[in-house]
Amino acid sequence: MLQVQDQSLRPLTTAHLAQTMSLLALSNLELRERVLTEIASNPALEMLDERVCPTCHRPLAGSAPCPVCTSPQAQDGLLVFLSPRESGRTAGAVSIDETPADQEPAAPEDLALHVLAQIAGELEPSERHLAAYVLSSLSEDGFLEDPPAIIARATRATLGQVERVLSLIARADPPGLATPGPRQALLAQLDLMDPGDPMVGLARRMLDECFAELGRREFERIGQTLGVSQMRARQAADWIHAKLNPYPARAFWGSGRQAAAADPNVYHNPDIQISVSPNDKGTLVVEIFSAMAGWLRVNPLFRQASPASDEEMSGEWSRHLERASLFVKCLQQRNNTMRRLMKSLVARQKDFILQGDRHLQPITRASIAAEIGVHESTVSRAVAHKSVALPDGRIIPLHRFFDRSLSVRDRIKEMVDLEARPMTDDEIAARLRREGVSVARRTVAKYRAVEGILPARLRHARRGAPIGAQA
């Protein structure tokens, strides 16, 4: 008897789980589209104009959050709530976040398969393991942190084989993968373009000779170095920005685009907003925006009026009802998971949120998953494709709350910015060690490259040049 019941419940449970997981991985913009599609195809679903609290369903006046669910409770200086407001739209911001789906970051395992499928035909049987090893070692940005010699040793391949496989991977789609950093990724992408195009040549010289200046948008200096006008330098920089991607495995937004992130209104609308409570400076307020204004529910009239006379119609009717209530339930579960996730994340990263990158705690998706009682993959999905507005106005991808190398990178950047004379990588590593951060010189060099900071001897040359010399 019990078994029979289990059997009948299983398909629903599986459907429930699968749908909740797929909804979790959507940003608010994507979710809005999904809800619209669902409403259009299911008469049992209805969207009421009425504003209700997404948590307790109390009717609300205007777009203000629910006074009951947001009444300050003693919760360690943290207030996390689901908002009836839509993400950013109420602020009158211009959205340019409608990134085509093909620019969304691929899940790492999918990316590896995607690349492997392209290069499989060109691999010798002995190189397959090597290619798989490289593809599974890529960072979130698509970079390969270990140099070829280390890879060769780990896979018992020759250096020649490693280099051949790396070049196959770098030329596959998305181009520039398995390179050591943004500059090399951009150069690898240039390799695939028409060498006769003068812009390709200029872009290559710019990346070779003025990468740091490019990051700082010092067009006058770039022009002087390359012997072109400031205008031409700017054109080439814009061209690089439009045609190439410094983080091949990542969407073209996020931590690699600090300049754009500095202006939230022209960048994109956040899915979540974190602010300091105006009433209590010690409390962080976390508002998780709705995908849509209004109240999505199963139409109660549809539930009552079942056309029992016609059997076929009745079957369709109940399928609509079932699908509608499942969708509403999954949506609620998505919201609940988002709320629990944000509560846990914000509590742990309070210093990062208020004081900047260097205070990022090294937390993992697994530890957050354990804390809120879900599977690690649930956390990964909930984090995917979400952006957060911080109290200082920056909008960053939610996955930055997990970036462990960031705090060290930020400290290196700061040291270089404040250095009286150029410090070598060894000196930077020694200073970091004195601050309690143990990193190898090689790691300093790698992080420096990621930040687009030149080696010490070249920084020296740069400083030696007359600053602000006008033609």
Cis ω before 174 (30° cut-off from 0)? yes
Strands 395-397 and 387-389: antiparallel
Nearer to Zn ion by Cβ, of 42 and 335: the residue is 335
The reply on whether position 276 binds Zn ion by CB under 5 A is no
* Angstrom distance (rounded) from CA 332 to CA 339: 11
- 471, containing H or E segment: none
Q: How far, CA to CA in Å, does 344 sit from each of 38, 348, 383, 406, 455? A: 31, 6, 13, 20, 39
Closest separation between CB of residue 64 and Zn ion, Å? 11
Closest separation between CB of residue 55 and Zn ion, Å? 5
The reply on whether position 55 binds Zn ion by CB under 5 A is yes
Q: Which stretch binds Zn ion (CB under 5 A): 63-71, 309-317, 344-352, 372-380?
A: 63-71
Q: Which stretch binds Zn ion (CB under 5 A): 62-70, 221-229, 397-405, 455-463?
A: 62-70
Helix ranges (DSSP H) in 25-102: 28-41
Nearer to Zn ion by Cβ, of 42 and 55: the residue is 55
Letters for 65-84 (x = contact with Zn ion by CB under 5 A, - = none) are -x-xx---------------
DSSP states of 247-299: STTS-SSSTT-HHHHT-HHHH---SEEEEE-SS-TT-EEEEEEESSSSEEEE-
Selection from 398, 331, 410, 329 nearest residue 368 by Cα: 398
Site for Zn ion in 367-386 (CB under 5 A): none
Question: Which of 24, 53, 190, 439 forms a contact with Zn ion (CB under 5 A)?
Answer: 53
Nearer to Zn ion by Cβ, of 53 and 292: the residue is 53
Nearer to Zn ion by Cβ, of 55 and 349: the residue is 55
Nearer to Zn ion by Cβ, of 69 and 326: the residue is 69
- 458, containing H or E segment: helix 456-464
* Angstrom distance (rounded) from CA 131 to CA 161: 10
Nearer to Zn ion by Cβ, of 51 and 385: the residue is 51
Closest separation between CB of residue 54 and Zn ion, Å? 8
Nearer to Zn ion by Cβ, of 83 and 184: the residue is 83
Site for Zn ion in 85-114 (CB under 5 A): none
Yes or no: say if 254 and 236 are a contact pair by the CB < 8 Å rule: no
Yes or no: say if 274 and 346 are a contact pair by the CB < 8 Å rule: yes
Nearer to Zn ion by Cβ, of 82 and 423: the residue is 82
Selection from 268, 275, 296, 365 nearest residue 81 by Cα: 275
Neighbours of 377 (CB within 10 A): 14
Strands 295-298 and 284-290: unpaired
Q: Which stretch binds Zn ion (CB under 5 A): 55-63, 155-163, 278-286, 298-306?
A: 55-63
Nearer to Zn ion by Cβ, of 69 and 437: the residue is 69
Q: Which stretch binds Zn ion (CB under 5 A): 52-60, 225-233, 294-302, 389-397?
A: 52-60
* Angstrom distance (rounded) from CA 122 to CA 119: 5
Q: Which stretch binds Zn ion (CB under 5 A): 56-64, 157-165, 187-195, 233-241?
A: 56-64
Nearer to Zn ion by Cβ, of 71 and 279: the residue is 71
Q: Which stretch binds Zn ion (CB under 5 A): 39-47, 59-67, 124-132, 195-203?
A: 59-67
DSSP states of 315-374: HHHHHHHHHHHHHHHHHHHHHHHHHHHHHHHHHHTHHHHHH-GGG-----HHHHHHHHTS
Selection from 332, 306, 298 nearest residue 43 by Cα: 298
Q: Please give the angle made by the CA atoms of 230, 236 and 237, to the nearest 5 degrees.
A: 90
Closest separation between CB of residue 152 and Zn ion, Å? 59
Residue 222's Cβ-side half-sphere holds a number of Cα atoms within 13 Å equal to 26
The reply on whether position 9 binds Zn ion by CB under 5 A is no
Closest separation between CB of residue 61 and Zn ion, Å? 13
3-state secondary structure of 274: strand
Closest separation between CB of residue 67 and Zn ion, Å? 8
Which amino acid is located at 186 in the chain? L
Closest separation between CB of residue 443 and Zn ion, Å? 48
Nearer to Zn ion by Cβ, of 60 and 251: the residue is 60
Closest separation between CB of residue 71 and Zn ion, Å? 9
Question: Which of 9, 36, 56, 231 forms a contact with Zn ion (CB under 5 A)?
Answer: 56
DSSP states of 219-245: HHHHHHHHTS-HHHHHHHHHHHHHH--
Number of chain residues interacting with Zn ion (CB under 5 A): 6
Q: Which stretch binds Zn ion (CB under 5 A): 51-59, 148-156, 211-219, 349-357?
A: 51-59
* Angstrom distance (rounded) from CA 270 to CA 395: 7
Closest separation between CB of residue 419 and Zn ion, Å? 52
Nearer to Zn ion by Cβ, of 58 and 404: the residue is 58
Which residues sit at the interface with Zn ion, rule CB under 5 A? 53, 55-56, 66, 68-69
